[in-house]
Amino acid sequence: MKQLNKENLLAEFDKTDSFTTDNVFNFYKSLNPAVKRKTVNWRIYEFIQNGILGRIGRGVYTINLKGGFKIIPGKKEKSISLAIKKKFPFVSYCVWHTSILKEFHHHMTNLEFIIVEVEHEAAQPVFHHLKEAYKNTFLEPSKTLFNDFISGTKDAVIVKTLISEAPLQKIEGFSIPVLEKVLVDLYADSDIFFFIQGNEFLNILSNAVEKYSINYDKLLRYAARRGKREELKKILNQITGNK
């Protein structure tokens, strides 16, 4: 097991952007021909658990580990989440505020609002329920509606359909999207996020990839659910330099 230590791994792969399970196994096998794949797999698992390796895809890792992006819900997002959970306890949902995008912007925008996503069958009931407490609540607004009624407000609540199998996480007991989902939605929901399309989207995606650990498999799986897998895969390849 001495030869399977992290120092050998770091020395071999530290300058490599990404590498696979086979790469790690073949490297350790060159140090110890008798090493078993099961032993290497277990060592990889330990390195991931200890933060030495980051998993960026299925069987793909990096040592240049970046932190994971966390979306911390604000007071209003928590209030909306609680209202949904109380009235619709069995409905899948997520809530987030577009202010989380600020750190990725090259050009700041004053367009900020809360996104509420719920299962298709619950979209109308949830919309009407939230409308009672938050008057600037809109259901699946068009780009025209945004320009006419939403662009001048800072407290708008946008209710939209939650795509099935969307990657979510729990923060403080509240359902929040993961960064991979947000990035895909920015590209796929061009009517809602019309103000960050084109080069601005590329800047946001590039900054996210540079700053945080992104699970590309998760991102592309969700992109496939939204019919955008090949488009986003091509963009990611341009950004990361992969072919």
**CB neighbour class for 67 (10 Å; exposed up to 12, middle 13-18, buried from 19):** exposed
Three-state DSSP at 126 gives helix
Residues 198 and 229 in one domain: yes
Residues 84 and 56 in one domain: no
Residues 201 and 119 in one domain: yes
Residues 42 and 94 in one domain: no
Q: Which residue has the tokens 């797999």?
A: 41
Residues 198 and 92 in one domain: yes
Residues 102 and 159 in one domain: yes
The amino acid sitting at 242 is N
pLDDT reported for residue 174: 95
The answer to whether position 67 is within a domain reads no
The amino acid sitting at 236 is L
Domain span holding position 122: 75-240
C-alpha to C-alpha distance for 24 and 61, rounded to whole angstroms = 10
Q: Output the domain CATH number for residue 27.
A: 1.10.10
pLDDT reported for residue 168: 95
pLDDT reported for residue 227: 97
The answer to whether position 70 is within a domain reads no
- Count the neighbouring beta carbons within 10 Å of the beta carbon of residue 100: 18
pLDDT reported for residue 103: 87
Last residue of a domain, one of 62, 91, 108: 62
Last residue of a domain, one of 40, 62, 84: 62
Residues 221 and 102 in one domain: yes
Strands 137-139 and 157-161: parallel
The answer to whether position 68 is within a domain reads no
**pTM of model > 0.75:** yes
Q: Would you state the structure tokens that stand for residue 50, as one six-digit string?
A: 């200890």
pLDDT reported for residue 242: 57
The beta strand positions in 79-208, using DSSP E, are: 93-97, 114-118, 137-139, 157-161, 168-171, 174-177
pLDDT reported for residue 158: 95
The answer to whether position 19 is within a domain reads yes
The answer to whether position 69 is within a domain reads no
Q: How far is CA 40 from the centre of its chain?
A: 29
The whole-number mean pLDDT for each consecutive block of 10 residues of the chain, a chain of 243 residues, reads 72 84 92 90 83 81 76 94 96 95 75 93 97 94 82 85 95 94 96 87 91 86 96 88 57
The answer to whether position 169 is within a domain reads yes
Count of domains for the chain: 2
The answer to whether position 214 is within a domain reads yes
Residues 10 and 114 in one domain: no
